Every structure is written in structure tokens, then in C-alpha cells.
Structure 1
Amino acid sequence: MSALRPGSGALSSPGRRFGSWRCCCWWWWVLVVGVAVGSGDPWMSAEACPSSCSCSSTRISCVDPERGINAFPVLQTEAEMENITDIYIANQSSFSSISDKDLHYYKNLRNLTVTNSRLTYVSKLAFQNNFKLQYLNLKDNNLSSLSWRIFKHLNISYLILSGNPLHCSCENMWIKLWLGEEADIQELRCIEDGGARKLLSRLTLPNCEVPTATLTPSNLTKMEGENMELLCTTSGVPSPELFWDMIRVAYYEIATSGQTSKLQLFNLSSTDHNSKISCTAENIVGDKESSVVLNILFPPKITKLSDAIPDHHWCIPFSVTGNPKPTFKWSQNGKPVKEGQYIFTRIHDYAEREYHGCLQLDSPTHINNGRYKLEVANPYGTDEKEVDAHFMHMPSDATDPEPYYYGK
């Protein structure tokens, strides 16, 4: 997740932004009306839905202030909760918190409204299973603070926070940076120590800034078997925590001192090629990630060479690893295969450090039968492997000295 930037409207990528306030209002109206009428969805039985709420197959609405709720509504089965896409809660004076388990089974939840209630606390893990959540309306509650980490893994498009007694604190600075001009459109205010209310967009605090992270070196090309050292330097106030994130890298050591951390990688292998290494600095204002991708040089290896497969064209399939990309050379019965329009090497895919492809043959005949050898090479080594291929029986009359081609 990238750093929060003023006006960016994004927690994790520049492309993630809020719509206009008018759009937010439209969404809010759709939710109120849609939940109220059920949009034609079949309604659940009274036994399946909490008594103080009304439910359809995809929506839950809890708006009765007299038969109020004090916790998130729970349906009878996990399957029923997984089908829910919209939850609307309003006018609930006893509803005060969203814990890290309340929404666990609402995996397809897209729109959540909790408004005009006593919501005071939202756990940092409240939406850990709600990856599809896009619209969140927490207007007119009792929230004094909210952590950006709650939304770190989400793609939230609309966030409404107006009408909450937010403190003018560093912990809430991320809201100003994330919402940008949307904070003014919502007339979002915070409360200063003396009790005065201030537009959040005008909040300035000393020693309160998004951290930075710098990863060096930027060029990570190494030979297989070599070692490597990376340095991550962070800065920011409050002082950030520093985290390393590595995928597939097997042998490493980390030593951290102050705002600098050293990562040592040992005995790099071909399996480390294209691995991403990230260094992230986090504080209560936001986070900043710096990342690099390992480029490990290693000799080629043929991991698969299989029997010919009849398809639209005949194919002798292979899988080959190697960095840089190896050259491919074929021979048939000890003689070089001359590639051209009807016989050629075709790479279909490159994934997990392997090239997957075919020696493709268009309408081969008996003269193409034989033992095929694949040789691969790059500046760091070679490999070869053989396979028998049979495409067509010899014709009964083989007196014609010229090649006699048949269709498949």
C-alpha cells in the first residue's frame, strides 16, 4: 500500500478514489430505498432473521429504534450470511462497536451503512474478510478516532464520516489526506483540545507525517549461488515501524538499528528469480512501501519434454527454465530441424520462471517420425533432452523417391 497523499483519495493505489459527494448521496439513497423495499428479493422467514431487523436474500435492514440491536445481526447459517451484499443499520442507541468477528461470514458484503447510532469503536480487523466492501457510511455516530489500517487491504470507493466527534489528532490525519477535497464536501470537522470544532481539511499538526522508505540497491541482478545485501532506510514522525516482506526467498537474515534495516540473502537460487522484496514503513498517519524484484541469472534446464500431441497442429510440448531466456535448437534423428512456416518453436506462456511451449508441426507425415532432441543454451550453460515422435505410418507404396505428404 502506497503512502497517503493529500488529495489522492487512495489508500493503496493512485487509481483508487472517491466519487463526488453527489454520488455518495445517491448511493446512500439507493441503499435506504433498496433495503427498505427489498428490490424484489425474496424475504427471509422471521425465524431466519433477527427479530428487530428485516432481511431479504441479499440485504439486512435494522432501523427500528425501539426493538434495537446491540451487536451485529447474525443469520441462521453461514451460507445465508455469505449471500448478503448490503447491510443497513440506523437509529440504534445500543449499537456501539464493530469487532473483528462481527462481519467474518459476510464475505460478499459490498455496502455497509451504520448511521445515527452509538458506534464508538471499529476494530482494526473488522473487515479482514470483507474484500468486496466498496461503500462504507459511518455518518452521525460517536467515533472519535479511526485507524487507516482498518482499510489497508480494501478497495473502498466511498467513505462517509461526517457527524462524528473526531479528535484533531495525528491518528486522524490520514482521513484528511485520503479524502482530500471530499472532506470539505462532507463538511467533515474535528474537535480540538479546547472543544472548538475545526474543518478537518485545515488540520495541521507538527510531528505528524507519512513515513518514507528507501530500498537500496535498485539493481538486483545476481548469479545463482551468490549472496546479496539490501538496506532499507525509513523516516517519518511519529517514528515508523519497519517491515520486510519476502516471497519464496529461503535463506536470509535481518538486522535493524534505528531507522535502518539490513537484509542479507544467502545462496540465491533459480527459485528466487522474479521474487519481490518489499520494505514498508508504517506509523499512525500511513505507510510507504519500497520494493525490488530479484533478477537471478542461471543456466537453462529442460523440466519437461513430452510425447507429441495431436491438436489443431501437432505439438511436442516442453517446459524450460533459464535466465536469460535460452535459445532453442531441435534435431530429428541427428539432423538439424529447419524451422519455417510448417515447423517452428512456439512459446505459449511464461510463468513461475518457466517457458512453456511446443515444437509445432503443421500436418506432419511419416517423414517427420523419429527421435527429436531439444537443446537449450544461454551464456551460463546448456541442457538437452530427447523424445520419440510418431505422426503417421509409412505408406504401403514407398517406391516414390520424393516425399509424399499426407494430411492428418
Structure 2
Amino acid sequence: MSAWRPGSGALSSPGGRSGSWRCWWWWVLFIGVSVGSGDPWMSAEACPSSCSCSSTRISCVDPERGINAFPVLQSEAEMENITDIYIANQGSFSSINDKDLHYYKNLRNLTVTNSRLTYVSKLAFQNNIKIQYLNLKDNNLSSLSWRIFKHLNMSYLILTGNPLHCSCENMWIKLWLGEEADTQELHCIEDGVGRKLLSRLTLPNCEVPMATLSPSKVRLMEGKHVDLSCETSGVPSPELIWNMALVSNYEIETSGQLSVLRLSNLSSMDHNSKISCTAENIVGDKESSLLLDILFPPKILKLSDAINDHHWCIPFSITGNPKPKLQWFLDDKAVTEGPFIETKIHDITDREYHGCLQLDSPTHLNNGRYRLLIKNEYGSDEKEVEAHFMRKPWDGTDKEPYYYDLITEGPPVEPPEDRVAVYVVVGIAAVAFTGFLLMLVILKFGGNSKFGIKGCALFQNIPGELVSR
């Protein structure tokens, strides 16, 4: 089997018209790709005059009709659909500011290359959390802050061809890229020395900060008090930042590179809440954190009426730490759980458990007052709810109790009025149809006969003379 080669005639038609057929196939291919790509080009009115745009991509590469700021489309919706922006050869494009990319929320790939880019704001990508690829090659960047990318999870950062300074502010690039710095052949400019590989940059008084939080674990009863201390180190001296969202009361006391967080009257609402202290300087940041483990007695937040959804379910929501043990009672008699009745937990949050008592095909024997009792070592709680799944098959007064039909769940009853009406209509229709058939028979055999019955065998056999008499 030979592979197809251009000009081999694999797509030509009989009759020597291969050229026209090839042309036709090229048009089919072009239209198919254009339609199949689902990425039609925007009108000239919607796209900046110096750029070309599709529904998901903007490209600005013409050096003569250059741009000096990020292109802006006609509507926010159009900008939200953009995933790729490519800017190149723009001598007047020098900065990426706070709001330039504000509406490009789905941007994944950004290229700004061979331009005059000298400044990128620390808030430039605050709305672009989906960005994965950033190419800033061959620009005029002398420094770049790590804070620009703090909230991003990028896979690629290309900085080749920028006059980066051999400064502490750029040390994070070496640490973040690792071996990739050598692959890109990244250099920095050192005063009085010239260019040197960024991977070999070492600077005095330039250290990644550290943060140490103690104690590393907190497990206390609600209402108690605790002090957390955070100690930082690093050069330049780092800034210490506490980060938490608490219901409990707290105070912060800081002295130098030691800070104390005093928590009082711990609330059960703060169970599993995160507390972190972060040290930041121009080289980078370091976080130390813990989750509060607050002990408290159980509480039933919700116990609802039974609902029928695939299985019968008595929904409940409970809380407590440690996790409470559950026990169900039916009319004050303990419920023995098994394959047909069991407790199911469907959702667990930081401090709550949501589930139901699941019953498979319950009968009248399962009707009654259900009581939920929950316990842990710090207390207990209970609530009741009435549940009715099926009527009793007898009320106790009949001599012969009747049982429900699987469908009607009741004794036989007379057909309702609408059924009687249906029977009447069907009967009338049957009578009318019978009369219609009789009419057809009469018309078939009647007509020319004096007796009005044409073709009847009896009259066909009578002599004509007798008839004339």
C-alpha cells in the first residue's frame, strides 16, 4: 500500500478534470476547518483596527499600526471569551497596568514579545486565575515582583531577552524556575561586571523568609483560651501577616519578628477553621498554619418529616466534635438497623453531618414516632418526628379485615362517573357502526330490483312472466 503524495491523483476524477476537483476539495477543506473550528473571526468593528480577532483569540503584530495599551473589545462578554492574546513588535507598548486584563477572566495564554514592555503591575493578573502560559520574551523588563504571580498556578514563564538586574528583587525568578533558568539561558546585568547567568546569582543579605507557628496543633474545649505565637526570619526583614476568619474573640501583639495571637472564649463555630501566619519580603513568602480542633457537645440542627425519593428517608443534620453516635427509637423502642433500615451520612462539612434514616419499602408497621438520640463524651441531644408510610390494612372493627391492593390501596369501589361516560360513548359508537354496516349491505344489493333488493338470489330465479303479472 503506497502513501498518498501531493500530485499522485488520489483525489482526481475520471475524465482529466483533476485540477478542478483538487480546487473543489481545497474549498471543502477550507470551509470544513473554518466551520469545525467553531472560532469565527470577528467583524472589523468589534476588533481594534491594529489587531485581528476571533471569538477566542486576539493578535496584534503589525508594527506600523501599533498599539500602546491592551486591546479592548466592544463588550465584556466578548472579552470574557478570549483565551489567547498575542502581542509582538509593538514599540509603543510599555506597561501592563492594574485594569488592563480585568475582563479577560478566561485568559489562558498571554504573549508579549519583542516590544518595549518595562512595567508589570502587581495587580495585573488579579482576575486571570486561569492563566497557564506567560511569554514576556525580548522586552525591556529590569525587574519583576513575585507578588504578581502569587495567586496563579502557571506552568510556563518565559523571560529570555530581558535586561534583568542582578538584584534581590529578582532572586525569586532563579528559585522559582530552577533548572529552567539555564534552559532559557536567563542572564542578569550586574553593575561593573556585566552579564551573568541568573542561575549562578548569589547575593548577601538576600534570603527567603521563614515563619514558625507554635503550638503546631490546638485541641481545646469550646469556651477555653489559647495563645499562638509566630516567629519570622529572613533578609530583608520580612513583614508578618496573620490570616484567619474567626467567630472567637482574639487580640494580636507584635514585637519585632515575634507576634502573639491571643484567642479567648473559643467558639464551636471555629472548629476546623484555618489560622496562618505568613512572612513576606522581596525574595518571597513562607506560610505556617494550623486547623483549630475545638471540642463541643452534639446538637441536632434539623430533623424533618419523611420523604419518598427512591427510598423513604427521614432527613437530619447534626453537629458535634468528636463525631456523635446515633441511635433511633420507634415509639420508644430501639430501632435495629439492617439492610432494610439504616442510617446514611450523605454530606460532611467542617463541623456538620447531613444524612437520613433510610427505609426500604416500609409498611404500616414502620409508622410511628421516631426519636433521634445523639451522644458524644461531652453531651447529648434528641428530637422527635412523626412518620407515616402506609395506612393499616384494617381498622380493628371489621370481622373480616381487607387488605390493600398494591395499586389502589383500598377496597373495590364503583367505577367513577367518568368511566360510566366512557362506557356509554363506546356503546353508542358500536350501535352506529353496526347501522353503518347494514346501510352498506342494503346499498350493495338494492337498486334496480323492483323489490329494492338487487342481486338477491330468490328473485333472480323467478320467471319474468310471473313477475309481469
Alignment TM-score > 0.5, same fold: yes
Compute the displacement of 1:195 (Å).
5.1
Residue matched to 1:254: 252
Residue matched to 1:363: 361
Query: Residue 157 of structure 2: which of 159, 163, 168 is its match?
Result: 159
Q: Which amino acid counterpart does residue 277 of structure 1 have in structure 2?
A: I
Q: Which amino acid counterpart does residue 194 of structure 1 have in structure 2?
A: G
| SS of the residue 2:318 aligns to | strand
Mapping of 1:36-51 within 5 angstroms? 41-51=39-49
8 Å contact kept, 1:365–1:407: no
Query: Residue 178 of structure 2: which of 173, 177, 180 is its match?
Result: 180
Residue matched to 1:288: 286
- Cα deviation, 1:7-48, whole Å, max 9, x if unaligned, reads xxxxxxxxxxxxxxxxxxxxxxxxxxxxxx996621111111
8 Å contact kept, 1:211–1:287: yes
Residue matched to 1:340: 338
Compute the displacement of 1:307 (Å).
0.4
Residue matched to 1:75: 73
Q: Which amino acid counterpart does residue 105 of structure 2 have in structure 1?
A: K
Query: Residue 88 of structure 2: which of 72, 87, 90 is its match?
Result: 90
Change (3 A) 1:374 1:261: same
Mapping of 1:8-407 within 5 angstroms? 41-194=39-192, 196-396=194-394
Q: Which amino acid counterpart does residue 76 of structure 2 have in structure 1?
A: E
| SS of the residue 1:298 aligns to | strand
| SS of the residue 1:183 aligns to | helix
Change (3 A) 1:179 1:363: same
Residue matched to 1:32: none
Stretches of structure 2 lacking an aligned partner (at least 5 in a row): 1-33, 408-469
Change (3 A) 1:162 1:405: farther
Alignment partners' CA distance in 2, 1:267 and 1:322: 17
Alignment partners' CA distance in 2, 1:273 and 1:396: 52
Alignment partners' CA distance in 1, 2:404 and 2:277: 61
Alignment partners' CA distance in 1, 2:248 and 2:103: 34
- Cα deviation, 1:205-246, whole Å, max 9, x if unaligned, reads 011111111000012001111111100001011110010110
| SS of the residue 2:240 aligns to | strand
Change (3 A) 1:52 1:267: same
Compute the displacement of 1:352 (Å).
3.7
8 Å contact kept, 2:248–2:267: no
Residue matched to 1:33: none
Alignment partners' CA distance in 2, 1:352 and 1:218: 19
- What is the number of residues matched between the two proteins? 369
| SS of the residue 1:176 aligns to | helix
Q: Which amino acid counterpart does residue 90 of structure 2 have in structure 1?
A: Q
Compute the displacement of 1:343 (Å).
1.5
Compute the displacement of 1:336 (Å).
1.2
Q: Normalization by structure 1: what TM-score?
A: 0.87
Q: Which of structures 1 and 2 has the bigger CA Rg?
A: 2
8 Å contact kept, 1:363–1:406: no
Change (3 A) 1:195 1:118: farther
Alignment partners' CA distance in 2, 1:202 and 1:406: 87
Alignment partners' CA distance in 2, 1:110 and 1:384: 52
Alignment partners' CA distance in 2, 1:353 and 1:72: 46
Compute the displacement of 1:271 (Å).
0.4
Higher helix share: 2
Alignment partners' CA distance in 1, 2:276 and 2:320: 24
Residue matched to 2:449: none
Q: Percent identity?
A: 79
8 Å contact kept, 2:393–2:404: no
Compute the displacement of 1:363 (Å).
1.1
Alignment partners' CA distance in 2, 1:194 and 1:172: 18
Residue matched to 1:10: none
Alignment partners' CA distance in 1, 2:203 and 2:345: 56
Compute the displacement of 1:341 (Å).
2.1
Alignment partners' CA distance in 1, 2:81 and 2:338: 55
8 Å contact kept, 2:137–2:159: yes
Greater RCO, 1 or 2 (C-alpha within 8 Å, sep 6+): 1
| SS of the residue 2:205 aligns to | coil
Q: Normalization by structure 2: what TM-score?
A: 0.76
Change (3 A) 1:135 1:406: farther
Q: Which amino acid counterpart does residue 383 of structure 1 have in structure 2?
A: D
8 Å contact kept, 2:222–2:265: yes
Residue matched to 1:23: none
- Cα deviation, 1:151-179, whole Å, max 9, x if unaligned, reads 00001100000000000000000000000
8 Å contact kept, 2:163–2:189: yes
| SS of the residue 2:171 aligns to | helix
| SS of the residue 1:173 aligns to | helix
Compute the displacement of 1:396 (Å).
2.9
Compute the displacement of 1:406 (Å).
9.9
